């Protein structure tokens, strides 16, 4: 439980906030940003973070002492997981875009950002904890749930956008 709290409140919170920073800047500057733009900013930030983390892990922990398979797994999992978490957080942040208007103090930022990163942060902490405890099967399940979250967020926005377009065009959506 202590590892889970540390990985969630420490690693998960800090990494999810770090990946979200470019989007937070953009969402304040571009009031017309679409959910797709927010998702793309999240994905790109997640990919960059995942590659960086993969390089650090491989050079620090493996450094040529392991077979090439571990490097491939580390890079694929780092990039994929960070993309899923940051992409979902990007969409969830975009849904809260109205919170980012005007002057904001720290409390306003927390109220605006925390709900958007809460689920990715929990999944991130759980994933890291399970890997640390060599519970690879459960970590894989957590990874699948992370991708389901990302796809759910994406599909919900696409469906809502389609529904809104149908209403604008005069269709009842039935």
* Residues written for the chain: 174
pTM of structure: 0.88
Neighbours of 120 (CB within 10 A): 31
pLDDT tens profile 160-174: 999 988 888 887 655
Residues contacting residue 80 through CB under 8 Å, at least 6 positions apart: 50, 143, 147
Q: Is the pLDDT at 48 greater than 80, yes or no?
A: yes
Question: Which pair of structure tokens corresponds to residue 97?
Answer: 């875009």
Domain residue extents for the chain: 2-168
Question: Which pair of structure tokens corresponds to residue 77?
Answer: 């999992």
pLDDT tens profile 133-154: 989 899 999 999 999 999 999 9
Question: Among residues 100, 92, 76, which one has the least CA distance to residue 24?
Answer: 100
Integer Cα distance of 67 and 92 in angstroms = 38
| Spatial contact of 94 and 110, defined as CB atoms under 8 Å apart | no
Terminal Cα distance for the chain, rounded: 48
Average pLDDT of the segment spanning 6-15: 93
């Amino acid at each position: 439980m202590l590892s889970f709290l540390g990985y969630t409140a420490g690693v998960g919170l800090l990494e999810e906030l770090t990946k979200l920073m470019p989007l937070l800047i953009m969402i304040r500057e571009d009031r017309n940003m679409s959910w797709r733009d927010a998702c793309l900013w999240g994905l790109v930030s997640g990919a960059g973070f995942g590659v960086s983390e993969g390089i650090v892990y491989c050079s620090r922990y493996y450094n040529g002492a392991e077979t090439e398979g571990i490097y491939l797994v580390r890079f694929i999992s780092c990039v994929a997981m960070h993309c899923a978490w940051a992409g979902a957080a990007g969409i969830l942040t975009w849904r809260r875009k109205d919170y980012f208007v005007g002057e904001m103090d720290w409390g306003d930022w927390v109220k605006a950002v925390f709900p958007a990163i809460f689920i990715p942060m929990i999944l991130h902490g759980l994933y890291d904890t399970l890997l640390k405890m060599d519970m690879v099967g459960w970590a894989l399940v957590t990874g699948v749930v992370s991708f389901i979250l990302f796809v759910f967020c994406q599909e919900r926005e696409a469906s809502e956008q389609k529904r809104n377009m149908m209403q604008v065009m005069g269709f009842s959506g039935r």
